[in-house]
């Protein structure tokens, strides 16, 4: 298979480089690698790439990876396996004579390598490789690649690759001094259609030699792209906002339960999130050591465990400390703050103060492109996850008996108690539920934040803001609060900067609470007043 | 301020309060004269406490008029301003300053300047002492003068709260269930005290205890579902068919 | 009156101890020869001075929390603002002695390539102005913040949370270089205060004694406030806020007045703190700091004033010892203290001591003085 593919590639390259002679340029170019001069290496790359020799790709890839060795006037490729082959002949070379040194690289050489590989792989049968190659050519803007590019465009049937190839050609044409203005105008057109940040950069940085009509067309096209990008940027910001909102929702929703039902200010809530994140870390460590195949499922395995770990700590906390402090919210606040210090220091003692590495499963890496927006899969996963947790929690509170009891206790503790609901048990369970949900949030946040003993601290103030803004005792309020704060934060950021935006938002919430002390969706009536 | 609309002390007309669709008061109208004592009865949820909340500024009505002395619009004032106008309120559960002595409770309630600066630089005058002595005598707490209010019995707290109300020298007293949790003797004594107070001030008493209401011997208003169901002497009201229906659930 | 007598007793005790400190510390530092067991080494003087400033901060928290039930989790902000006001004065005193030798601009501004002094830095080279700002800046913030909060009846934990957000927002703001207050590094490298070298041992002794005197003054001020009818109204608000309202008191005015007074005290504490520790930076605004102050008060006994001083001294001495001897365990100890005090000693050391005292004296008397304290607070 590989042999066949190599053969095919060589064949196509031969077609592409019609001018290349069969014997000569490649062999002639090779010795220039041995001269230990960047200029020679650069020239050799161009010559090798243009030679059409089947070994050309291997040579340049080896050069890129530092596996192209020279010694006693000859050039060798070291395979990944460690075997040496003679670059000139492709024969194995078991017994190197004398000392071999890798060919040295600098940035100019690296650019040449990228351009050369780009043009060499433009005809690769693998569409993904071709796309990558087209992008490499686009970035390098190497005029030498133009013939290969033309050839590739003529053959290309895969639309995204073809688009990429055309963009690359347009980029080269625009920077090529002697290209005819009509071609340049077409290039402007192509770039306008591509209409992304790179195209904009190209169009707004035309070389000085560009003819005036091209400059005018490019200016117009650039304006168009800017407008389009601004349009998409707004969506992108909203998306970032939703994504941040989801993070806030995850962090705050457990708090909404404990604060809402028991009016307990749990300052250790952030540490429950942290415990969830560390549970994820532990699960991944175990999987890495014993079941490497399960790594893709590590987060799914971590979810129930994180719920259990954080939930049990929550129940323990409720039973040993908080239940003695009901009706004394300020004291509860202080005691739970003490617990948060203990948990932080405990984790710091066990796991060390530094950040712990939590891996991202393969299925969560990468991004989805929508228009000019890029939605990374891990953010999408977190948004979906946050909404799922919200929905499940809503269902739990709506349709289970625990939910019924919790709602009863939230609305009127004394009445619920006299109706035979064991409020203290409901408290413990609700506290466990809220803490467990925080643990689950920790699993998700381990994907986007540093897993360190301070993880929880960063969320506690924001979470309180969300809950207080949304209104206590109302999950929908928490949802709206989280999303509003998330989106407002991200929409403010471009204008005010991250820090000022955050300050502005904090002030806005402080003012808001003073306007509506009970939040956006407050329970009303006599019960609350009492 | 508009010109006096009515010569009465308290004038409520068409007052409606709703919480999330539930109407705690439904077009309630009530008129209280100077130095009149009125007993308000009604089953739970009839709106008695909400009515007091409206009069004292704790709750804003959704619609309706609430005038004090014909000129003051109670719906536009807050609790403090209404208290300064001369409306005193005793809560359903006795609410006194438990950590203060009985004497200090009365001292804080005395009609004096209420501003932070005034209280910061105030000195206790002999005149105040005499007023406190008289009040203690009247609510029978002279012996408890230096005890912390939190240590008083339930009935004593009720009386202390009434004493605090008197110290405010209000024109209208709102008294919510003064007899709750009291012994028979205490109840009777409380009725005496209230009758005595009513000689010079207007009093609204909310009470469930019919014996107590009978002891008061005043005009009775029966509330039901946020509006006035019947008004008149206790006998007339208890004979009212609709009142019987509401109370007995027929 | 008996209550008056008790106040005097505690006050006399507190003042005697403070007077003893003001005399003994300089004596043990300056008169007792080094090497003697009673000698107080130079580095301990500013450390003790630091404790005294923190005790004043704790006193300011006790005034509002212990007597009016207002739990501020942002009092560190007022402390830090007072500290910054003093720090700005000290920066201006550096003059051309900075690393960049600019006669006007502090080093960090030269470093940031600023050409002129921002408007709010003017006047801080004059000590009386700076001293005024130490009071006015925290006071004004408290006045504005409190006016909004108390007018709309934000109480209990809601108030605590927004004060925490306030100090957090200020911390973020002060971290910015654009703020013109030294950003991350804050203000430091002070040279002189009122013409005396900041680092000199004698200056530090004087600063210590001054701090003790100010603490004594602050204590007397608080004592006078809580002993007045005003103070009785505060306790009334703490224990039955709506009752107080129905009595015709403008609760929000009282809260605002005491909150502002307390913020000013905290500002003075910060201003005395800065020359003794030699630096003020945005980490003083960290919410965790403000919460820690509350636990000092709780440990000593809330609503007793003397307890706040005692708690601040004890916990900070403990912190110094722990972070030197067992740094790993300090947070365990502090966290445990939070839990222990709230669960088992809700009235703190002085409260517990007062209980014992009261129990033994109950046999003799039936009359009792008001204990400005409740277990339930909101």
With an 8 Å Cβ cutoff, are C335 and A338 in contact?
A: yes
| pLDDT score recorded for residue A491 | 85
Domain A233-529 fold: ABC transporter involved in vitamin B12 uptake, BtuC (1.10.3470)
B52 Cβ under 8 Å from any chain A Cβ: no
Torsional class of C360: left (φ above 0), alpha (ψ -120 to 50), beta (otherwise)? alpha
Taking residues C62-85, report their average pLDDT.
95
| Contact by Cβ (8 Å): C315, C238 | no
Share of chain C above pLDDT 70, in %: 93
For residues A208 and A215, give the distance between their C-alpha atoms in angstroms, rounded to a whole number. 9
| pLDDT score recorded for residue A128 | 77
Please give the residue that has the higher pLDDT: either C377 or A35. A35
With an 8 Å Cβ cutoff, are C371 and B99 in contact?
A: yes
Share of chain A above pLDDT 90, in %: 15
Please give the residue that has the higher pLDDT: either C367 or B188. B188
Sheet holding A68-71, edge to edge: A84-86, A74-78, A68-71, A101-102
User: Shortest Cα distance from C320 to chain B (angstroms)?
Assistant: 37
pLDDT digits over C344-365, tens only? 988 889 888 877 877 777 666 5
A524 Cβ under 8 Å from any chain B Cβ: yes
> What is the domain partition of chain A in residue ranges?
2-105, 120-210, 233-529
**Predicted confidence (pLDDT) at residue C373 exceeds the cutoff of 80:** no
Q: Is C47 exposed, middle or buried (0-12, 13-18, 19+ CB in 10 A)?
A: middle
For residues B190 and B185, give the distance between their C-alpha atoms in angstroms, rounded to a whole number. 9
For residues A156 and A148, give the distance between their C-alpha atoms in angstroms, rounded to a whole number. 12
A525 Cβ under 8 Å from any chain B Cβ: yes
Q: Which residues of C touch A513 (CB under 8 A)?
A: 154, 158, 162
Structure tokens at C87: 């720090």
On the CB side of A334, CA atoms within 13 Å amount to 30
CA-CA distances (angstroms) from residue A347 to A271, A350, A439?
10, 5, 15
**Predicted confidence (pLDDT) at residue A20 exceeds the cutoff of 70:** no
Lowest mean pLDDT segment, chosen from A33-47, A145-159, A321-335, C147-161:
A145-159
On the CB side of B82, CA atoms within 13 Å amount to 30
CA-CA distances (angstroms) from residue A427 to A251, A260, A398, A439, B142?
20, 11, 17, 18, 46
With an 8 Å Cβ cutoff, are B104 and C230 in contact?
A: no
Q: How many CB pairs under 8 A join A and B?
A: 9
pLDDT band at C4 (very low <50, low <70, confident <90, very high): very low
Residue in C288, C334, C378 closest to A330 by CB: C378
With an 8 Å Cβ cutoff, are A517 and C158 in contact?
A: yes
Sign, Cα dihedral of C173, C175, C180, C182: positive
- As a dihedral over the C-alpha atoms of residue A502, residue A507, residue A508, residue A509, rounded to 10 degrees, the angle is 90
**Which chains have 3+ CB pairs within 8 A of C?**
A, B
Residue C278 in domain: yes
User: Shortest Cα distance from C162 to chain A (angstroms)?
Assistant: 6
pLDDT digits over B165-177, tens only? 999 889 999 998 8
**Which of C166, C342, C348 to mutate to probe the A interface, most A CBs <10 Å?**
C342
Q: Compute how many other C-beta atoms are within 10 angstroms of the C-beta atom of residue C300.
A: 29
| Contact by Cβ (8 Å): C143, C260 | yes
pLDDT band at A16 (very low <50, low <70, confident <90, very high): very low
| pLDDT score recorded for residue A263 | 74
With an 8 Å Cβ cutoff, are A524 and B19 in contact?
A: yes
Residue in C148, C287, C338 closest to A338 by CB: C338
pLDDT digits over C131-167, tens only? 999 999 999 999 999 998 898 888 888 889 889 989 9
With an 8 Å Cβ cutoff, are C172 and A335 in contact?
A: no
**Which of A412, A524, A528 to mutate to probe the B interface, most B CBs <10 Å?**
A524
pLDDT digits over B107-152, tens only? 998 888 888 888 888 877 788 888 999 999 988 898 888 999 989 8
Chain C positions contacting chain B at CB under 8 Å are 2, 225, 228-230, 232-233, 235-236, 239-240, 242-251, 253-254, 257, 366-368, 370-374
Q: Is B144 exposed, middle or buried (0-12, 13-18, 19+ CB in 10 A)?
A: buried
Residue in C229, C368, C373 closest to B119 by CB: C229
Spell out the residues 6+ positions from residue A65 whose beta carbon is closer than 8 angstroms to its own: none
pLDDT digits over A130-165, tens only? 787 777 778 777 777 777 777 788 877 777 788 888
B19 Cβ under 8 Å from any chain A Cβ: yes
For residues C338 and C344, give the distance between their C-alpha atoms in angstroms, rounded to a whole number. 10
With an 8 Å Cβ cutoff, are C248 and B114 in contact?
A: yes
With an 8 Å Cβ cutoff, are B148 and C368 in contact?
A: yes
Residue C151 in domain: yes
| pLDDT score recorded for residue A98 | 67
| pLDDT score recorded for residue A4 | 57
With an 8 Å Cβ cutoff, are B108 and C372 in contact?
A: no
pLDDT band at A7 (very low <50, low <70, confident <90, very high): low
| pLDDT score recorded for residue A348 | 92
**Predicted confidence (pLDDT) at residue C2 exceeds the cutoff of 70:** no
pLDDT band at A345 (very low <50, low <70, confident <90, very high): very high
**Predicted confidence (pLDDT) at residue C6 exceeds the cutoff of 60:** no
With an 8 Å Cβ cutoff, are A346 and C332 in contact?
A: yes
Residue C369 in domain: no
**Predicted confidence (pLDDT) at residue A375 exceeds the cutoff of 60:** yes
| pLDDT score recorded for residue B224 | 87
Q: Which residues of A touch B22 (CB under 8 A)?
A: 525
Lowest mean pLDDT segment, chosen from A18-22, A104-108, A473-477, C211-215:
A18-22
Structure tokens at B42: 């009604």
pLDDT digits over A94-127, tens only? 666 567 788 888 888 888 887 777 777 777 777 7
| pLDDT score recorded for residue A473 | 67
Query: Mean of the per-residue pLDDT values for chain B?
Result: 86
Domain range spanning residue C298? 2-362
- In the block, tokens 């067309």 appear at A217
Classified as helix, coil or strand, C97 is helix
**Secondary element (H or E) of residue A69:** strand A68-71
Residue C39 in domain: yes
| Contact by Cβ (8 Å): C63, C72 | no
User: Shortest Cα distance from C283 to chain A (angstroms)?
Assistant: 14
B24 Cβ under 8 Å from any chain A Cβ: yes
**Predicted confidence (pLDDT) at residue C328 exceeds the cutoff of 90:** no
For residues A219 and A213, give the distance between their C-alpha atoms in angstroms, rounded to a whole number. 10
With an 8 Å Cβ cutoff, are B20 and A525 in contact?
A: yes
Taking residues A344-370, report their average pLDDT.
84
Can you give the three-state secondary structure of A393-440, one letter per residue? HHHHHHHCHHHHHHHHHHHCHHHHHHCCCCHHHHHHHHHHHHHHHHHH
Residue C198 in domain: yes
**Predicted confidence (pLDDT) at residue C198 exceeds the cutoff of 80:** yes
**Predicted confidence (pLDDT) at residue C73 exceeds the cutoff of 90:** yes
**Predicted confidence (pLDDT) at residue A381 exceeds the cutoff of 70:** yes
pLDDT digits over C178-195, tens only? 888 988 899 998 998 888
Spell out the residues 6+ positions from residue A503 whose beta carbon is closer than 8 angstroms to its own: C169, C172, C173
For residues A516 and A529, give the distance between their C-alpha atoms in angstroms, rounded to a whole number. 14
pLDDT digits over B198-220, tens only? 888 899 998 888 888 888 888 89
With an 8 Å Cβ cutoff, are C232 and B107 in contact?
A: yes
pLDDT band at A437 (very low <50, low <70, confident <90, very high): very high
Q: At what angle do helices A181-194 and A212-262 cross, to 10 degrees?
A: 10
| pLDDT score recorded for residue A103 | 83
Residue in A334, A513, A515 closest to C162 by CB: A513
| pLDDT score recorded for residue A269 | 92
E-state strands within chain C = 187-188, 192-193, 196-197, 279-280
For residues B168 and B88, give the distance between their C-alpha atoms in angstroms, rounded to a whole number. 7
For residues A18 and C5, give the distance between their C-alpha atoms in angstroms, rounded to a whole number. 111
| pLDDT score recorded for residue C36 | 84
Structure tokens at A30: 């090779």
Q: Compute how many other C-beta atoms are within 10 angstroms of the C-beta atom of residue C342.
A: 24
Length of chain C: 378
| pLDDT score recorded for residue A3 | 58
Nearest residue in chain B measured CA to CA from A526: B19
**Predicted confidence (pLDDT) at residue C50 exceeds the cutoff of 90:** yes
Residue in C229, C250, C371 closest to B80 by CB: C250
Q: How many CB pairs under 8 A join A and C?
A: 130
Taking residues A263-275, report their average pLDDT.
89
Please give the residue that has the higher pLDDT: either A415 or C341. C341
**Which chains have 3+ CB pairs within 8 A of B?**
A, C
- In the block, tokens 């001020």 appear at C221
**Which of C247, C256, C370, C375 to mutate to probe the B interface, most B CBs <10 Å?**
C247
Please give the residue that has the higher pLDDT: either A156 or A338. A338
| pLDDT score recorded for residue A13 | 53
Classified as helix, coil or strand, C267 is helix
Query: Mean of the per-residue pLDDT values for chain A?
Result: 81
Sign, Cα dihedral of C56, C57, C60, C66: negative
Please give the residue that has the higher pLDDT: either B247 or C229. C229
| pLDDT score recorded for residue C378 | 36
Share of chain A above pLDDT 70, in %: 92
With an 8 Å Cβ cutoff, are C370 and B100 in contact?
A: yes
E-state strands within C135-208 = 187-188, 192-193, 196-197
pLDDT band at C7 (very low <50, low <70, confident <90, very high): low
Q: Which residues of B touch A526 (CB under 8 A)?
A: 19, 24, 49-50
């Amino acid at each position: 298979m590989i042999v066949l593919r190599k053969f095919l590639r060589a064949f196509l390259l031969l077609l592409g480089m019609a001018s290349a002679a069969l014997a000569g340029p490649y062999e002639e170019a090779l010795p220039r690698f041995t001269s230990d001069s960047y200029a020679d290496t650069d020239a050799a790359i161009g010559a090798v790439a243009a030679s059409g020799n089947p070994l050309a790709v291997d040579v340049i890839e080896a050069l890129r990876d530092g596996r192209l060795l020279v010694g006693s006037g000859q050039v060798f490729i070291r395979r990944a396996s460690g075997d040496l082959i003679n670059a000139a002949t492709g024969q194995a070379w078991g017994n190197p004579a004398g000392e071999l040194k890798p060919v040295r690289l600098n940035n100019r050489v690296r650019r040449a390598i990228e351009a050369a590989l780009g043009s060499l792989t433009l005809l690769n049968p693998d569409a993904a490789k071709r796309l990558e190659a087209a992008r490499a050519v686009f970035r390098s803007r190497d005029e030498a690649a133009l013939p290969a590019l033309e050839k590739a465009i003529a053959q290309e049937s895969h639309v995204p690759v073809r688009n990429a190839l055309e963009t690359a050609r347009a980029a080269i044409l625009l920077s090529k001094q002697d290209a005819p203005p009509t071609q340049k105008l077409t290039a402007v057109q192509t770039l306008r259609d591509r209409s992304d940040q790179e195209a904009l950069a190209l169009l707004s940085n035309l070389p000085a030699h560009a003819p005036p009509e091209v400059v005018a067309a490019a200016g117009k096209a650039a304006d168009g792209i800017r407008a389009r990008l601004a349009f998409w940027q707004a969506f992108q910001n909203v998306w970032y906002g939703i994504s941040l909102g989801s993070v806030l929702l995850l962090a705050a929703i457990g708090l909404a339960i404990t604060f809402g039902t028991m009016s307990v200010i749990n300052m250790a809530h952030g540490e429950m999130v942290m415990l969830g994140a560390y549970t994820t870390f532990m699960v991944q460590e175990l999987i890495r050591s014993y079941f490497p195949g399960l790594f893709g499922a590590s987060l799914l395995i971590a979810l129930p465990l994180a719920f259990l770990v954080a939930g049990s700590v929550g129940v323990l906390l409720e039973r040993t400390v908080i239940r003695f402090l009901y009706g004394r919210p300020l004291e509860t606040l202080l005691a739970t703050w003490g617990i948060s210090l203990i948990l932080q220091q405990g984790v710091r003692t066990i796991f060390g103060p530094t950040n712990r590495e939590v891996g991202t499963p393969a299925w969560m890496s990468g991004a989805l492109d929508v228009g000019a927006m890029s939605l990374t899969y891990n953010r999408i996963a977190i948004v979906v996850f946050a909404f799922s947790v919200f929905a499940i929690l809503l269902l739990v509170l709506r349709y289970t008996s625990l939910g019924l009891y919790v709602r009863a206790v939230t609305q009127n503790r004394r009445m619920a108690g006299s109706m035979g609901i064991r409020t203290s048990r409901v408290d413990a369970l609700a506290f466990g539920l809220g803490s467990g949900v925080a643990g689950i949030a920790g699993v998700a946040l381990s994907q986007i934040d540093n897993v360190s003993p301070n993880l929880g601290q960063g969320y506690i103030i924001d979470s309180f803001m969300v809950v207080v803004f949304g209104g206590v005792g109302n999950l929908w309020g928490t949802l709206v609060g989280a999303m509003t704060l998330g989106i407002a934060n991200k929409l403010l950021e471009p204008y005010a900067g991250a820090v000022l935006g955050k300050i502005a938002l904090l002030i806005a919430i402080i003012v808001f609470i003073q306007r509506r002390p009970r939040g956006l969706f407050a329970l009303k009536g006599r019960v609350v007043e009492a | 301020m508009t010109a006096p609309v009515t010569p009465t002390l308290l004038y409520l007309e068409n007052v409606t309060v709703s919480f999330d669709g539930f109407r705690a008061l439904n077009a309630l109208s009530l008129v209280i004269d100077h130095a009149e004592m009125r007993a308000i009865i009604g089953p739970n949820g009839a709106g008695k406490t909400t009515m007091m909340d409206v009069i004292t500024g704790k709750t804003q009505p959704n619609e309706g008029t609430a005038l004090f002395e014909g000129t003051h619009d109670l719906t536009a004032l807050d609790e403090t301003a209404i208290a300064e106008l001369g409306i005193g309120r005793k809560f359903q559960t006795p609410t006194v300053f438990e950590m203060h002595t009985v004497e200090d409770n009365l001292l804080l309630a005395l009609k004096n300047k209420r501003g932070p600066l005034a209280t910061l630089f105030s000195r206790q005058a002999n005149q105040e002492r005499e007023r406190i002595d008289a009040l203690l005598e009247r609510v029978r707490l002279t012996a408890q003068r230096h005890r912390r209010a939190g240590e008083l019995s339930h009935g004593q707290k009720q009386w202390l709260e009434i004493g605090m109300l008197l110290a405010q020298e209000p024109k209208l007293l709102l008294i919510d269930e003064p007899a709750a949790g009291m012994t028979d003797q205490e109840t009777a004594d409380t009725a005496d005290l209230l009758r005595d107070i009513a000689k010079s001030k207007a009093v609204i008493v909310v009470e469930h205890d019919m014996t107590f209401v009978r002891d008061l011997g005043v005009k009775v208003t029966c509330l039901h579902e946020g509006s006035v169901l019947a008004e008149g002497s206790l006998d007339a009201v208890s004979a009212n068919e609709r009142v019987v229906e509401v109370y007995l659930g027929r | 009156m008996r209550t008056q007598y008790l106040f005097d007793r505690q006050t006399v005790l507190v003042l005697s101890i403070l007077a003893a400190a003001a005399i003994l510390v300089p004596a043990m530092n300056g008169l007792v020869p080094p090497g003697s067991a009673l000698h107080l080494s130079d580095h301990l003087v500013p450390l003790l001075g630091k404790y005294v400033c923190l005790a004043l901060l704790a006193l300011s928290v006790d005034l509002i929390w212990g007597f009016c039930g207002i739990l501020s989790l942002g009092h560190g902000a007022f402390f830090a603002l007072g500290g910054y006001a003093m720090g700005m004065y000290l920066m201006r005193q550096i003059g051309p002695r900075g690393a960049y030798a600019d006669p006007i601009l502090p080093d960090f501004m030269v470093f940031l390539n600023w050409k002129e002094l921002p408007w709010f830095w003017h006047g801080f080279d004059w000590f009386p102005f700076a001293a005024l700002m130490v009071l006015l800046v925290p006071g004004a913030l408290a006045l504005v913040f409190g006016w909004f909060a108390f007018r709309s009846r934000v109480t209990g934990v809601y108030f605590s949370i927004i004060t925490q957000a306030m100090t957090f927002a200020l911390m973020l703001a002060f971290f910015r270089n654009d703020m013109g207050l030294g950003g991350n590094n804050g203000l430091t490298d002070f040279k002189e205060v009122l013409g005396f070298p900041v680092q000199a041992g004698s200056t530090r002794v004087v600063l210590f004694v001054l701090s003790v005197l100010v603490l004594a003054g602050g204590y007397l001020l608080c004592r006078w406030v809580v002993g007045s009818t005003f103070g009785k109204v505060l306790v009334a608000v703490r224990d039955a806020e709506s009752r107080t309202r129905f009595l015709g008191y403008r609760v929000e005015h009282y809260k605002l007045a005491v909150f502002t007074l307390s913020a000013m005290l905290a500002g003075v504490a910060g201003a005395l703190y800065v020359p003794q520790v030699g630096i003020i930076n945005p980490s003083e605004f960290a919410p965790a700091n403000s919460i820690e102050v509350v636990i000092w008060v709780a440990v000593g006994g809330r609503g007793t004033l003397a307890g706040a001083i005692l708690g601040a001294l004890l916990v900070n001495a403990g912190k110094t010892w722990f972070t030197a001897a067992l740094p790993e365990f300090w947070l365990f100890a502090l966290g445990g203290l939070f839990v222990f005090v709230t669960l088992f000693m809700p009235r703190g050391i002085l409260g517990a001591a007062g209980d014992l005292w009261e129990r033994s004296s109950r046999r003799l008397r039936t009359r009792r003085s008001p204990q400005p304290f409740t277990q339930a607070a909101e």
